[in-house]
A and B are shown apart, each in its own frame.
Chain A
Amino acid sequence: MTHSSRSRLTRRSVLKGGLGLALATTALTALGLPVPARAAGKKVIIGAFADGGLTPFKQKIIPLAKDAGFDIEFLEDEYGVTLEKWFADAKNSAGQYDLYLLDDPWVPQFGAANVLEDLGAAGIDGGDKDWIGSMIDMGYWPPQKGARVKGFETATPTLICVPFVGDLQTLTYRNDVYTSGAPKTWDEVIAKGKEGVAAGKIKYPVVFRGVSGNPIVTSWYPVFLSFGGSFFDDKWNPVFNSAEGKASAEFFVGAMKQNAPSGVVEFDSDQEGAAILGGEAGAIIQYSGNALKADDPAQTKVAGKLDFGVVPKQTSAIAQMGIFIAGIPKSAPNKANSVEFLKWYVSADIQAKLSEAGSIPVKRSAFGIAKPGNRLIPVALQQLDAGALPRPRTPDWAKVEELLGIELNKALQAGSGGGAALDNAAKQVKDYLSSVGYY
């Protein structure tokens, strides 16, 4: 009797205690009080913006870094706020980060403000032939080649960033529509696409992003480059409204729009992705983040029918390149660790691992490993060899892109007047750049 009552009591108290403990643990975990014990190691605080392109790095490389003795704190933030947060951090020596994973058009702004560590002096060899040349070029400020903005004409190029994850535009196309491989020219894209539409295989030959600002400029840029346009002359005068540029804009807002879904003016990456993955569009130029979904039956209705190729040409087949690029702020609290981490990360060994994990690497040797993580990687190398250009190296690219994007979007809505739009945009860009002292 006593025994059983005691055991009941015990059971109840055990239950109660357990419940209480569970609740307390949940509450504490929720409150974030018991910080999990960190493996001691060389601390590196990495700032990154949220982007699928970094998933292989996060999943496969960070664990390797831990094994190699680094204690990585990976702080992800929204793309739209990272530039200003990091710039403020670096400019004001707030010392909140050890390493930024920048979008490459941001490099000039950090370079001009002179807030990033000289990585060449820190022992990273920018001259290593294993780098993809066009990628490592983006790490120098002022740039080694091409126009320089005022105030930096005579400065010595310094390696302030190193490429981190390579990315560039390539063509994704339907192999049942373009039966003889990737279409080589824009005319072929449209003509064969129309046949595909007539045969009921697809609904539209092409799809792209038409939303003003960065999206439309990103979509128009490879067309512009393949028509032979160039953006600025060597004095930073806008020359994108040259005859070639205008031809590309007219083609973009005319022929391309007519052969794209009717709502393309309002399309962003969500919609263009849905059009190609949903089997409605024949071809698209896109970055790897979206291209990679082409092999995943969970993400596309036409798995197996999507192939990758070099972008089509008018006069040449040039794509836009946009990479993740790493810089260390002068105010980094763990500077030595982050330099050591970067050296480790760009070693051929780790780059091969990155490639295996499915990311486009930044070292040439890593493209050639036996089993790259996805079939896009060899195509990316082909595109690099065919031609891939970064955006102009100016600290004011964000504003330029915005001014141009608004005008292009207006012309796209009208379905004509691409040339005039470029004239307008060129005037606004020129005015803006004058006002900030470019000439």
Chain B
Amino acid sequence: MANGGTQSRKYRLQGAGLDLALPYLMLAPGLLIVLGVLVYPLWDGLRASTKVYRYGSVVADVGMQNYIKLWSDPQFLNSLWVTVEFVALSVTFEAILGFALALFCLREFRGIRLLRTILIIPMVITPVVVAIVFRLIYASDAGMLTAISEWMGGGQVQILGSPVKAFIGLVVLDVWEWTPLMFLILLAGLQSLPHEPFEAARVDGAGNWRVFADLTFPMMRPVLAIAIVLRTIDAFGTFDQVFVLTRGGPGEATRLVSIYGYDTAFKFQQTGYAAALFVTIGLVVLALAFSAVRLLRRVDAS
């Protein structure tokens, strides 16, 4: 043990002193950045939400008034409702289509790799560009639908001017963009299922539908649920696509809460009220996410 002294000192330094601090040192950089750039502004937003702004400056402190006012603001309620409709419709279609497609692609066959590759495109394209793509489809003069309709002898097709059609148009955009994600998640889920129960069921002579209803679906439920929760959270924050496609119009037909909040803050200059709106939305999404997770756990446990 000639070098015993230095070695044990080295050990002490790293094993005891530094190593004790190590977890904190490793957590620190990320946490500091997040605290500075996200949490501090969040706190700032909370403070702003209790104030009234006029012409860009604070003129009054109103406590919870902004939060209370929200629930009697027909435009906020409408935008909330539009958002819920949008999220529910889009995510439902994405889940159904994605699941169907994943089941279809479970068996390896020729061309499936090409299919998977192509399906990556919609969800990686910049959302702003996705919206441009759909404006080019829907536009009544320059649009693809009009061009096809005229080619077949029909007239102009109008989508973005009509409240109902514009809303459906937005849902179609979201389904086009995000079904592939649903598909990939569900496909990965399907591929990770054990083989034995299925083989056993086949031996017992179960038909396709029985296998699906008794085995595939129940076993896939957790993955499906998580995929739906993930998509729901993201869909709630949808902004870019609407901003470029319709900017919330016509009227209020596609005005999601994110757009209404943005307009309230920037176009109508009600910064405090908008902050209250955003805090509320943040809480709603968090509540949604955590209750979904809790529900999942309970289902898992039972």
Contact = CB atoms under 8 A, between A and B. Distances in A.
In the complex, are there CB atoms of A and B closer than 8 Å? yes
A409 B251 contact: yes
A351 to B, nearest CB: 32
Interface stretch (A32-40, A96-104, A259-267, A302-310): A259-267
B161 A267 contact: yes
A112 B57 CA distance: 11
A211 B161 contact: yes
A226 interface: no
Contacts of B189: none
Nearest to B253: A212
B252 to A, nearest CB: 7
Nearest to A410: B251
Q: What secondary structure prevails in chain B residues at the interface with A?
A: loop
A274 B140 CA distance: 10
A83 B267 contact: yes
Contacts, number: 68
Contacts of A114: 55
Interface in B258-275: 266-270
Q: What secondary structure prevails in chain A residues at the interface with B?
A: helix
Q: Looking at chain A, what size class is its interface with the partner chain? A: 20 to 34
A200 interface: no
B140 A112 contact: no
A395 B57 CA distance: 14
B247 interface: yes
A405 interface: yes
B269 A213 contact: no
Given A113-B56, A212-B249, A406-B251, A265 B268 contact: no
Nearest to A213: B249
Nearest to A211: B250
Given A265-B161, A270-B140, A87 B250 contact: no
Contacts of B266: 83-84, 87-88
A84 B247 CA distance: 14
Contacts of B44: none
Contact of B269 (A87, A211, A263, A268): A87
B294 interface: no
B216 interface: no
B162 interface: yes
B92 interface: no
A271 B251 contact: no
A237 interface: no
A184 B102 CA distance: 66
Contacts of B56: 87, 91, 113, 115
Given A211-B161, A271-B140, A274-B141, A398 B250 contact: no
A80 B55 contact: no
Contact of B141 (A87, A115, A270, A399): A270
Contacts of B270: 436
A263 B158 contact: yes
Contacts of B158: 263, 266, 271
Interface in B130-145: 139-141
B141 to A, nearest CB: 5
A329 B269 CA distance: 18
B15 to A, nearest CB: 49
25 contacts: A80-B243, A83-B267, A84-B266, A87-B56, A87-B266, A88-B266, A112-B55, A113-B57, A211-B249, A211-B250, A212-B250, A213-B250, A213-B251, A263-B158, A265-B161, A266-B161, A266-B250, A270-B139, A270-B141, A271-B140, A271-B161, A274-B156, A398-B267, A405-B251, A436-B54
Given A212-B251, A267-B161, A435-B69, 14 more contacts: A112-B54, A112-B55, A113-B57, A210-B161, A211-B250, A212-B249, A212-B250, A263-B158, A270-B139, A271-B156, A271-B158, A395-B269, A405-B251, A409-B251
